Structure 1
Amino acid sequence: MTSWIEVINYVRLRYEVLEETDDWLRFRLDTAGERTQQVSVHHLPDLDGSEWVEISSPVGRADEVDLLRFLELAGLPELGGAAVVDGLALLKHVAPLEDLSIRDEFERPLTLLVSRADAMEHELTRRDHF
């Protein structure tokens, strides 16, 4: 069984943590060229007692991107979903924490999501704000 502490420790050892609380981490990854991309990992308890991990990465400010194009790009099968939270257009992926394989069910979706969010940010905003 994988614990939230194991996820936190994994992230701390590999990435530059920008901000952290008991149930949330925000950190930065290098992407193509000299670009970087911020990503957040949230610990989500479920009503039935199961624990979940949510990975999210901003694409841009919702009021500055073409939201229809954002949803079209986010609809590709290897991603979890899209949302607007606190004015940010985000790509998101959620996985159960119990029996989570750090390499296959955390790191792989993390790198795919961050790479796609960065490409979408570049296409939709022409900037590297996040």
Structure 2
Amino acid sequence: MATWDELAEYVRTEYDIVSETAGEIRLLYTFDEDSDRTQVMIVAREELDQKYEWVQIATPIGLARNVDLHALLQAIGHTTISGGAAIIGEHVVIRHSLPLINLDIHEFTDPLTLIAGAADELESEFFGGDDY
């Protein structure tokens, strides 16, 4: 896989799509067929230096104003192997970015799974539920 279009086609065939716009796909990640646990994941095309295509995987976990950011970042530092936290708008998100050139599908699916799992756990611990 080497382009956004190829990755987007893969995502469309493998995941439940919530919405899609140019350069962004929102999907519903389901943890287990027998569970109601899900996570909304945002897969977005990014461009570095106006020539390199990247993909960013992100998911909101809660409103920044509703959390002790120091404690949250400390937990992420001790438990999260893939991705990091950011505030986008009013939301805390967990995100990870990858270059698309020569991207192996496992280099996408493994971080997607890790980010979804970390977000689900952090939502529960710091925000008291699964709102995203």
Q: Return the alpha-carbon distance in structure 2 between the equivalents of residues 77 and 29 of structure 1.
A: 18
Are residue 25 (structure 1) and residue 25 (structure 2) matched? yes
| Residue matched to 2:15 | 15
| Residue matched to 1:50 | 52
Q: TM-score, normalised by structure 1?
A: 0.92
Which segments of 5 or more consecutive residues in structure 1 lack a partner in the other structure? Answer: none
Q: Return the alpha-carbon distance in structure 2 between the equivalents of residues 57 and 80 of structure 1.
A: 11
Which segments of 5 or more consecutive residues in structure 2 lack a partner in the other structure? Answer: none
Q: Return the alpha-carbon distance in structure 2 between the equivalents of residues 91 and 113 of structure 1.
A: 7
| Residue matched to 2:112 | 110
Query: What is the aligned-residue identity percentage?
Result: 36
1:71 to partner: Cα distance? 0.8
Q: Return the alpha-carbon distance in structure 1 between the equivalents of residues 4 and 125 of structure 2.
A: 34
For residues 18-57 of structure 1, the C-alpha deviation after alignment (integer angstroms, 9 at most, x for no partner) is: 1111111111111364211111011001115111111011
Once the two structures are superposed, the pairs formed by residues 1-130 of structure 1 within 5 Å of their partners are: 2-31=2-31, 33-47=35-49, 49-75=51-77, 76=79, 78-103=81-106, 105-130=107-132
Could you tell me whether the CA contact under 8 Å between 2:85 and 2:93 is conserved in 1?
Answer: yes
Give the partner amino acid of 1:68. Answer: H
Could you tell me whether the CA contact under 8 Å between 2:80 and 2:118 is conserved in 1?
Answer: no
1:80 to partner: Cα distance? 2.2
Q: TM-score, normalised by structure 2?
A: 0.90
For residues 59-97 of structure 1, the C-alpha deviation after alignment (integer angstroms, 9 at most, x for no partner) is: 111111221122112224512211000111001101101
Bigger drift between 84-93 and 28-37 goes to: 28-37
CA-based RMSD:
1.5
Q: How many residues align?
A: 129
Could you tell me whether the CA contact under 8 Å between 2:53 and 2:100 is conserved in 1?
Answer: yes
Q: Return the alpha-carbon distance in structure 2 between the equivalents of residues 35 and 127 of structure 1.
A: 11
